Chains A and B, each alone.
Chain A
Amino acid sequence: MKPSPDLVLNQAFAKIAMEMGPALPAGYGQGSATTTGVLLLLVAQEFNRAADIRAKENSAMRTLFTEAAAAAGGDLGARLKAAAGEREADLNVATLDKANAALKALLIELHTHAERAGDAALEARIVRLMAEAAAARQVFLPAM
C-alpha cells in the first residue's frame, strides 16, 4: 500500500491535531479532535511492528516453556511442552494475538509455580522476559 499506512496516519495526525482541532472552538470537540489525532499517531507507531513484536513475544515464551517444562513436570510441564511446540497458521495480528493470549495465560501459571517452588532464577527470567516485552510495546507521545 502506497503511500504507506504509517505515513498516512502520521499525516492524518498532523492534519487533525495541528490544523483541524485548533480551528474548532475550545471545548469537548477540540479536545476530542486532538486526542483522535494523537490516537492515529500512536496507531502509526504500532502498524509496522505489530506482527514482529507479537511473533517475538510468542517465540520468547515458547523458548522459556521448552526449557522450563521438564523442571515443572506433571500437568503443567506437559502443557508447557505442548504450547512450546505450537506454531501460528499465519502472521495475521489477530492470529498472533490469539496465540499470545494463550501463552500469557500459561506464563502466569508458570510464574506462580516458580514463586511457590522458590525458583528465584526462573522468577528472574520471567520478570526480565515480561519487562522486555513491555518495553517493546511502548508507544510514544509527540511533543505538544
Chain B
Amino acid sequence: MSGDLEARIVRYLAHRMPEAGRVSVLALSRIHGGASRETFRVRIDAERGGIRGLIFRRDPVSTLIETEREIEFAAYRSFMDSAVPVPAALFLERDLDWLERPFFVMEEVEGCTAGSILAADPYGAHRRKIGEQFFSILGAIAKRDVASSDLARRMTVPDPGSAWRLELDKWEKVIDEDELEPQPIARAAIRWMRANPPPPAARVSIVHGDYRTGNFLFDGTGTIRAILDWEMAHLGDPLEDLAWALDPLWSSDRAHPGGMLTREEAIAVWEKASGLKADAKALRWWSMFASFKGLAIWISSAKEFQAGTNTDPVMAFSGIYCLPFHNKRLADMLVELKGGAR
C-alpha cells in the first residue's frame, strides 16, 4: 500500500512540479495525531532542487471534523509571510485520480516537535518563552485584517453580534446528529448560552478554531516555527480562540493552561498583541462554549469509532477521556451559575 502511495506521489509531483525534473521519494511515513486528515511526511530528492521535505494532508474516509480542505488551505495562505508562522501551502488537489481523496501539500517545517496533552510538562525549560510566543501569535491572528484574507473570499463575514450564535448553532447541530445517548449537560449548557449571549465581538477576526497545545511546532531553542491544523478555521469572535487555548483539557497542569503561562499571564500577552480587551463576561461565555464545542467534537468522534467508520485510537480516546472531561467541566460551570439555590 505504501509502495503504491509512493508511486502515486511521484506521479503527482512530476505533474505539479515539472520544473523539478525527475523526483524520487526517499522516505514516506504517516504522522500520528491527524484525526481530521491523514498526514504524511514525504522526503523527496528532485533532480533540480535537491532534497526537501513535504507534508501531504489527505482527507480521510471518515473524519473527526467535517471540514473543507479548501478552508484549511486558504487559512495557511492567509498567513504566509506574516507574523504568524505557517508552513508554505503549495498545492491544493481536488482530483481524486491522484490519491483517491482530495489533499493538499505543504512544505515540511523541519527540526521541530509538537507538545502533547499527555505530557506532564510538554515544554520544560522553554514553557515561558513558548507561552509568550503562543499567546502573542494568537493575538496576531486576531489582529489580521479579515477583508484581505483568502478566507474572506470563501466564507461570509459574520455580523459581530451574531458570531456566537452561528458557532453555537453549528456545534449544536453536530450533537443533534451524532449523539449516541442523551446529553443533559450539553443541552443545559446550550440553553444557558442562548439565554445569556456574550457581548458583540469587539472585532470579527480569523479564528483558528483549534489553537492549542499539540497544534504547533517548536524547535530546540523554544521558538515556535509553525501553527498547524487550521481545519476548523472560520471568521468570528477572537475570544473563541483565546477561550479554547485556555481550556483546561490541554494540560494536566491546571494552573498553566496548555502547560505554558498562567491564565492571567496568557490573557495579558494576548491583549497586548491583539490590541483587544478580553472582557471577563464575554470570556466566561466563550469558555463555556469552548468546553461545549469540545464535547460536541468528542461526541462525534465517539460515534465514528462506535460505528466503525474511523477506528483510529484517537477517536476512542476522545470519547473515553475527553468527553467525560468536558462533561464535568460544563457541569461544574453550571453549578457555579445555578447550583446555589436550595
Could you tell me the distance between the alpha carbons of A143 and B121 in the complex, rounded to whole angstroms?
10
- Quick one: CB contact mask for A75-109 with B, threshold 8 Å, 1 for yes? 00000000000000000000001001100110110
Q: From residue 216 to 256 of chain B, which have CB atoms closer than 8 A to chain A?
A: 252
Q: Count residues of chain B with CB under 8 A from any CB of chain A.
A: 40
Given contacts A35-B317, A111-B188, contact A144 B119 (CB under 8 A): yes
Given contacts A104-B184, A112-B191, A137-B324, contact A130 B331 (CB under 8 A): yes
Q: From residue 105 to 140 of chain B, which have CB atoms closer than 8 A to chain A?
A: 118-120
Given contacts A43-B320, A127-B334, contact A36 B185 (CB under 8 A): no
Could you tell me the distance between the alpha carbons of A134 and B327 in the complex, rounded to whole angstroms?
6
CB distance from A126 to the nearest CB of B (A): 8
Residues A124 and B118 in contact, CB atoms below 8 Å apart = no
Interfacial chain B residues near A105, Cβ < 8 Å: 182
CB distance from A56 to the nearest CB of B (A): 15
Residues A141 and B118 in contact, CB atoms below 8 Å apart = yes
Interfacial chain B residues near A139, Cβ < 8 Å: 320-321, 324
Q: Which of A25, A112, A127 has the most CB of B within 10 A?
A: A127
Q: From residue 237 to 289 of chain B, which have CB atoms closer than 8 A to chain A?
A: 252
Could you tell me the distance between the alpha carbons of A38 and B317 in the complex, rounded to whole angstroms?
8
CB distance from B9 to the nearest CB of A (A): 16
Residues A100 and B339 in contact, CB atoms below 8 Å apart = no
Residues A27 and B29 in contact, CB atoms below 8 Å apart = yes
Residues A144 and B120 in contact, CB atoms below 8 Å apart = yes
Other-chain contact of B317, A39, A135, A143 (Cβ < 8 Å): A39
Verify if B15 is at the interface (C-beta below 8 Å from A).
no
- Quick one: CB contact mask for B7-26 with A, threshold 8 Å, 1 for yes? 00000000000000000000
Verify if B181 is at the interface (C-beta below 8 Å from A).
yes
Q: Count residues of chain A with CB under 8 A from any CB of chain B.
A: 43
Residues B313 and A32 in contact, CB atoms below 8 Å apart = yes
Given contacts A124-B339, A124-B341, contact A130 B184 (CB under 8 A): yes
Interfacial chain B residues near A133, Cβ < 8 Å: 331
Residues A127 and B339 in contact, CB atoms below 8 Å apart = yes
Could you tell me the distance between the alpha carbons of A35 and B214 in the complex, rounded to whole angstroms?
14
Verify if B340 is at the interface (C-beta below 8 Å from A).
yes
Verify if B30 is at the interface (C-beta below 8 Å from A).
yes
Given contacts A28-B29, A35-B313, A121-B341, contact A130 B185 (CB under 8 A): yes
- Quick one: CB contact mask for B308-330 with A, threshold 8 Å, 1 for yes? 00001110110011001101101
CB distance from A29 to the nearest CB of B (A): 8
- Quick one: CB contact mask for A24-55 with B, threshold 8 Å, 1 for yes? 01011111101110110011001000000000
Verify if B187 is at the interface (C-beta below 8 Å from A).
yes
Verify if B33 is at the interface (C-beta below 8 Å from A).
yes
Residues A104 and B328 in contact, CB atoms below 8 Å apart = no
Given contacts A28-B31, A32-B312, A128-B335, contact A134 B317 (CB under 8 A): no
Could you tell me the distance between the alpha carbons of A28 and B1 in the complex, rounded to whole angstroms?
15
Residue of A nearest to B188 (CB): A111
Residue of B nearest to A102 (CB): B182
- Quick one: CB contact mask for B169-181 with A, threshold 8 Å, 1 for yes? 0000000000001
Interfacial chain B residues near A131, Cβ < 8 Å: 328, 331-332, 334-335, 339
Residues A123 and B320 in contact, CB atoms below 8 Å apart = no
Query: Which 4 A/B pairs are nearest by Cβ-Cβ distance?
Result: A31-B32, A28-B30, A120-B341, A131-B331
21 A-B interface contacts by CB (under 8 A):
A27-B30, A28-B29, A28-B30, A29-B32, A30-B32, A36-B313, A38-B321, A46-B320, A101-B182, A104-B181, A104-B182, A108-B187, A111-B184, A111-B187, A127-B338, A130-B184, A131-B334, A135-B328, A137-B324, A139-B324, A141-B321
Residues on B facing A (Cβ under 8 Å): 29-33, 41, 118-120, 181-185, 187-188, 191, 252, 312-314, 316-317, 320-321, 324-325, 327-328, 330-332, 334-335, 337-342
